[in-house]
A and B are shown apart, each in its own frame.
Chain A
């Protein structure tokens, strides 16, 4: 992949995304019952593992020989860590929620 040259337009576009997504994030969560605090935190945490995308791109470019071994290794470690975050995060959230919601259905 050839690094694209960043133009001021790109930057403005990215900053726009950043700011709008922050506002959206503020509005998204309003009232959350205490029961869901931990699952919500853990689920959001899994989503923050999105840096897996950056790690994948980084390790792919590096291995192709265009870049240094060191940055490849760093990106590879990032893939592993991000994947632990993503898979572990979603799995543990699912476990918690199943315990809460599953029993509720039976209890109702």
Chain B
């Protein structure tokens, strides 16, 4: 490798490091993202330039690949609804893992078709081990991420028929996962002994794809974001292993950076939900599929009644959830907050559960879009102590994150920290029905005497509520 190429890669690695560092702080995050993108640009330009100087780059082929990929990626990124963001991140992640695995496969293929080029000794061992691990992690990331994407969506539409994504994980599946991983190890060893035998390679690919599926299949409920974060970490590791095969430093550095920081982020997210990574991976949680059939009923209230009650309130805490994201009613929510602040002088705050919506920070993004001041968004740990002094908690499309059943220490929600909305003097819940949430657990909060249910779509109900308040 030419010296200047190494310098180019070094510069790009440095930009990635700064970028990741800045991404972790609210003020500098946009700049950090731009630094990361710049680092990628430097790496790509360095590579193409070095190929051009080394005997000519295949501009047509490379250009076509770059342009097609960029257009698809950009198109997906700008047209995604804010509610669909988590799924999109999962999908991109799968593509990244697949790309690493494909590069590894492409390298191996060269050797297979030109037997005289098969490396010997150390190089053979390194190539085969790295290719095997890259395939394991890369294909696992692809299938795992795709399944995670459909699990976040909740299902898949096949010929107009909605099929719910299953969650299934008997405990005997755990040893199977470990056996499969060990099998990959054995196959890698065999492929070193007999590099021309393609069966081993296909075996590794097949097992890795299956592993991705059975790793994600048992995981449900609020744990999904953690899995996506873990898969993100894995796709970084896949890139690093691919770097070993082609002997490229920037792949190794950037890949392992993402792998390590992604893992830390995964731990941080686990901590926010009071769970450990091992629990997430090996203890089936939530969304068991067998939803409790509802026998209890609750009489709904109407907007006028709720408006009257809000009139007398001094302090209101709004608890948004996935339902707000689905109905896109963040602007109506903001209007509601402005109205009651102006008209009744009510103090308004928002309680943000770390995993409200389908991904951490989901609610912040949506409310920020509606120009809700950042200072009013209070994280769960800081706001929970305020609920006993709160006159009305307005729960908009949140369910599991407010379910008092989580405190009981039993059932799928056990141990998950929740927003203490049930401590407020009155609770208003805007929700389509009494049905169970993502975790499939009945919510006691709905049936409390102090709870008023406004049944309906978030947007419609918030608009009704706003006009009712205007009329007071």
Interface residues of A (CB under 8 A from B): 1, 3-8, 10-11, 14, 17-18, 21-26, 28-60, 62-64, 67-68, 70-72, 74-104, 106-108
Contact = CB atoms under 8 A, between A and B. Distances in A.
Contacts of A99: 82, 365, 368-369
A30 B267 CA distance: 11
Interface residues of B, number: 124
A44 B65 contact: no
Contacts of A26: 260-261, 263-264
A79 B66 contact: yes
Interface of B: 1, 16-17, 19-21, 23-27, 29-30, 32-34, 36-37, 39-40, 43-44, 47-48, 51, 54-58, 61-62, 65-66, 68-70, 72-74, 76-78, 80, 82, 85-86, 88-89, 92-93, 95-100, 102-103, 105-107, 109-110, 113-114, 117, 119, 122-123, 126, 225, 228-229, 232, 235-236, 238-240, 242-265, 268-269, 272, 352, 354, 359-362, 364-365, 368-369, 371-375, 377, 379
Contacts of B242: 51, 54
Contacts of B126: 6, 11
Contacts of A56: 44, 47-48, 51, 62, 65
A50 B361 CA distance: 26
Nearest to A50: B254
B254 A47 contact: yes
28 contacts: A14-B243, A21-B240, A26-B263, A28-B20, A35-B364, A41-B228, A44-B236, A47-B20, A49-B40, A49-B99, A50-B250, A53-B43, A59-B62, A60-B58, A62-B110, A64-B58, A72-B106, A78-B106, A81-B69, A81-B102, A83-B65, A86-B69, A89-B73, A89-B92, A91-B73, A92-B85, A103-B372, A107-B372
Contacts of A48: 93, 96-97, 100, 232, 235-236, 238-239, 254-255, 258, 262
Given A21-B252, A47-B254, A67-B110, A5 B40 contact: no
Closest 7 A/B residue pairs (Cβ): A83-B69, A25-B260, A88-B73, A79-B65, A37-B360, A91-B77, A87-B73
B70 to A, nearest CB: 4
Given A26-B263, A84-B92, 4 more contacts: A14-B252, A17-B249, A18-B244, A25-B264
Contacts of B247: 4, 6, 10, 14
B30 A85 contact: no
Nearest to A85: B96
Which secondary structure dominates where chain B touches chain A?
helix
Contacts of B56: 64
Contacts of B100: 48, 51, 54, 78, 82
A25 B51 contact: no
Contacts of A74: 102-103, 105-106, 109
**Could you say which of A17, A48, A59 has the most chain B C-beta atoms within 10 Å of its C-beta?**
A48
Contact of A43 (B33, B65, B354, B362): B33
Contact of B89 (A3, A23, A30, A92): A92
Nearest to A106: B371
A51 to B, nearest CB: 4
Given A44-B20, A98-B30, A36 B361 contact: yes
B102 A22 contact: no
A54 to B, nearest CB: 4
A107 B375 contact: yes
A40 B24 CA distance: 7
A76 B103 CA distance: 9
Nearest to B376: A107
A42 B106 contact: no
